[in-house]
Amino acid sequence: MLQLHKKLGEIRLQQKISLTQQIQTRAHELGFALVGVTPAAQSQTLQRYRDWIENGYAGKMDYLEKHLPLKEDPRRLLAEAKSVISLAMNYYTLDTPESLATDPGCGQISRYAWGDDYHDVIRERLRHLVEFMRCTLSETGYTSRVCVDTAPILEREYAQKAGLGWIGKNTNLINWRSGSWYFLAEVLVNVPLESTEVPDFPVGRGTVPRHATLPRGSCGTCTRCIEACPTDAIVAPNVLDSRLCISYLTIELKESVPMELRPKMGNLIFGCDICQEVCPWNSKAMPTTEQAFYPRAGNLAPELLSLVNMTQVEFSSRFKGSPIKRAKRRGFLRNVLVAIGNWGARAALPALKIALADDEPLIRGHAAWAVGQIGGETAVRLLKTRLAVEDEPGVITEIQEALARL
Ligand code: SF4
Ligand code: SF4
């Protein structure tokens, strides 16, 4: 470590700009709009996070509790870590035309999933950043660890501390200049980099570091996101009950969507952007230059009927390299069926007849619900015909409940 410090001193002297600045410059070149650095130190919000899990707000995401010990300190992920580099990549592309966004026969996909899988895009860029640091710090025993979304680190805490923005009442990290349409990532390094810590964060009180970012922006008295949420999932400022959140229901939940929440999901078939769309800070968002995040053909408000009878082969081919594959065919078609039920158009009945005979019980059950929402004689006939041959208890219950509503 002595050798490492000596080498860092030499590099700074020679280049007269800090390593933090060099890393920020290289990260900007690689497409990260926001970059900041904090010391690798124990989390200050872990207890709050623990309370959130204990309240049941994580729903069935059991892995969040399993990861708790690792989230306590980034040094659990890289023992020799000295700094956390927080990075944010803009994924704002364009707005869905109003006529498509409000067409109940078309599904809405969260904008983060319109293009290529961000994990792949960001991991590749971080590989270049790590390579840059390795070259800059050659002969110093440099080590690092890259974290993209799935790593157990309380990333918004470190991003806020590093001056990238503040955590809004909708729980997203918001930048005062450009809003919240950002993917977050981190690189842990064993190098004691100059911090960009914001001075008003508890840890940063006192001397303002040379590269500190002055904190700007806040939610103030605004409550737009809380009021706009269709399921009242933001139960208090900055407290999200995942069990009610449409993003959780359509992506993370692997089983049936609770019946009482289905009508509130409208035509949202993968994720939900409502609490970000209403945020006034997002009126400042500028489109990203990252072409990978622009909508793939058919991902901007696809017709529900073009999705509902996809085979596994068609699903895998259509969503290869897309974040949508996370829901798997069964989860994605479940969401599409909820949207069809909310659409309520008789034109969907032939497609629903096929879905009622799907191999996957989750799909059959939600198809029954959708048929029940549409109603009419044909709907009753379809449900009774399926009931006569159905052997899965969960699906039988869905059919019986759908018939009872008719
Ligand atoms: Fe509510 Fe949608 Fe935001 Fe979840 S993502 S909190 S459902 S507005
Ligand atoms: Fe904060 Fe208002 Fe944005 Fe919600 S909508 S995150 S309250 S500024």
CA–CA distances in Å: residue 357 to residues 192, 236, 327, 368, 385: 60, 42, 21, 10, 10
Inform me whether the pLDDT recorded for 24 exceeds 50: yes
Q: Separation of 319 CA from ligand 2 center, angstroms?
A: 32
88 lines ligand 2 (CB under 6 A): no
Per-residue pLDDT reduced to its tens digit, 286-330:
999 999 999 999 999 999 999 999 999 999 999 999 999 999 999
- Note the pLDDT of residue 198: 75
**Residue 283 covered by a domain:** yes
Residue 16 CA to residue 25 CA, distance in Å, equals 14
- Note the pLDDT of residue 7: 57
pLDDT band at residue 197 using 50, 70 and 90 as cut-offs: confident
Min mean pLDDT across 8-22, 41-55, 115-129 is at: 8-22
**Residue 29 covered by a domain:** yes
**Residue 204 covered by a domain:** no
Which carries the bigger pLDDT value, residue 367 or residue 214?
Answer: 367
- Note the pLDDT of residue 206: 38
Other Cβ atoms within 10 Å of 358 Cβ, number: 21
Residues 284 and 312 in one domain: no
Per-residue pLDDT reduced to its tens digit, 266-277:
999 999 999 999
Atom 1 of ligand 2, nearest CA residue:
219
CA–CA distances in Å: residue 99 to residues 103, 104, 108, 391: 6, 10, 12, 42
Burial class (CB in 10 A: 0-12, 13-18, 19+), 289: exposed
Is-catalytic flag, 62? no
What total number of domains does the chain contain? 2
Q: What is the pTM of this model?
A: 0.91
Residues 309 and 242 in one domain: no
Q: Which residue among 234, 243, 257, 261 has the greatest number of ligand 1 atoms within 8 angstroms of its CB, and so is best to mutate? A: 234
Bridge-based pairing state of the strands 182-189 and 144-147: antiparallel
Residues 178 and 66 in one domain: yes
Our CA angle for 322, 151, 83, nearest 5°, is 125
- Note the pLDDT of residue 207: 44
180 lines ligand 2 (CB under 6 A): no
What residue spans of 30-117 are helical by DSSP H?
46-54, 62-66, 68-71, 98-101
Q: Separation of 319 CA from ligand 1 center, angstroms?
A: 24
Per-residue pLDDT reduced to its tens digit, 40-99:
999 999 999 999 999 999 999 999 999 999 999 999 999 999 999 999 999 999 888 888
168 lines ligand 2 (CB under 6 A): yes
Phi, psi of 2 (to 5 degrees): -60, -45
Residues 157 and 80 in one domain: yes
Q: Are 283 and 271 in contact (CB under 8 A)?
A: no
- Note the pLDDT of residue 165: 95
Inform me whether the pLDDT recorded for 18 exceeds 60: yes
Q: Which tokens belong to 334?
A: 């479940």
pLDDT band at residue 1 using 50, 70 and 90 as cut-offs: low
What residues pair up with 188 in beta bridges, in sequence order? 84, 145
User: What's the whole-number mean pLDDT along residues 367-384?
Assistant: 98
Atom 3 of ligand 1, nearest CA residue:
275
What residues pair up with 35 in beta bridges, in sequence order? 87
Residue 374 CA to residue 371 CA, distance in Å, equals 5
Residues 89 and 190 in one domain: yes
Atom 5 of ligand 1, nearest CA residue:
272
Residues 235 and 374 in one domain: no
Residue 322's domain comprises 304-406
Residues 268 and 400 in one domain: no
Residues 324 and 391 in one domain: yes
Q: Are 372 and 379 in contact (CB under 8 A)?
A: yes
**Residue 351 covered by a domain:** yes
Write the CB contacts of 291 (distance below 8 Å, at least 6 apart in sequence).
Answer: 115
**Residue 279 covered by a domain:** yes
Last residue of a domain, one of 233, 264, 293: 293
Q: Which residue among 224, 274, 277 has the greatest number of ligand 2 atoms within 8 angstroms of its CB, and so is best to mutate? A: 224
Chain-centre distance for alpha carbon 145: 21
Q: Which of 149, 358, 359, 391 is catalytic?
A: 149
Q: Separation of 224 CA from ligand 1 center, angstroms?
A: 12
382 lines ligand 2 (CB under 6 A): no
Q: Separation of 117 CA from ligand 2 center, angstroms?
A: 27
278 lines ligand 2 (CB under 6 A): yes
pLDDT band at residue 11 using 50, 70 and 90 as cut-offs: low
Tell me the ligand closest to 170's alpha carbon: 2
Q: Separation of 228 CA from ligand 2 center, angstroms?
A: 10
Report the CATH number that the domain containing residue 334 is assigned in CATH: 1.25.10.10
225 lines ligand 2 (CB under 6 A): yes
Residue 198 CA to residue 208 CA, distance in Å, equals 8
Averaged pLDDT of the chain:
92
Q: Separation of 347 CA from ligand 2 center, angstroms?
A: 39
281 lines ligand 2 (CB under 6 A): yes
Tokens 């619900």 sit on residue: 369
Q: Which residue among 160, 175, 180, 223 has the greatest number of ligand 2 atoms within 8 angstroms of its CB, and so is best to mutate? A: 223
**Residue 103 covered by a domain:** no
- Note the pLDDT of residue 99: 84
**Residue 221 covered by a domain:** yes
Which carries the bigger pLDDT value, residue 261 or residue 197?
Answer: 261
Residues 279 and 318 in one domain: no
CA–CA distances in Å: residue 370 to residues 116, 212, 338: 30, 54, 6
CA–CA distances in Å: residue 338 to residues 105, 245, 254, 304, 310: 12, 15, 14, 10, 15
Tell which atom from ligand 2 comes closest to the C-alpha of 237: 7
**Residue 24 covered by a domain:** yes
Chain-centre distance for alpha carbon 5: 38
Residues 133 and 264 in one domain: yes
Other Cβ atoms within 10 Å of 196 Cβ, number: 24
CA–CA distances in Å: residue 348 to residues 236, 266, 330, 358, 370: 38, 16, 18, 16, 9
Q: Separation of 243 CA from ligand 2 center, angstroms?
A: 21
Per-residue pLDDT reduced to its tens digit, 125-155:
999 999 999 988 875 688 999 999 878 999 9
What residues pair up with 185 in beta bridges, in sequence order? 87
Residues 27 and 173 in one domain: yes
Last residue of a domain, one of 270, 293, 316: 293
Residues 308 and 286 in one domain: no
CA–CA distances in Å: residue 310 to residues 105, 255, 304, 329, 382: 16, 19, 11, 8, 20
Last residue of a domain, one of 293, 312, 332: 293
- Note the pLDDT of residue 333: 98
Give the type of residue at 136: T
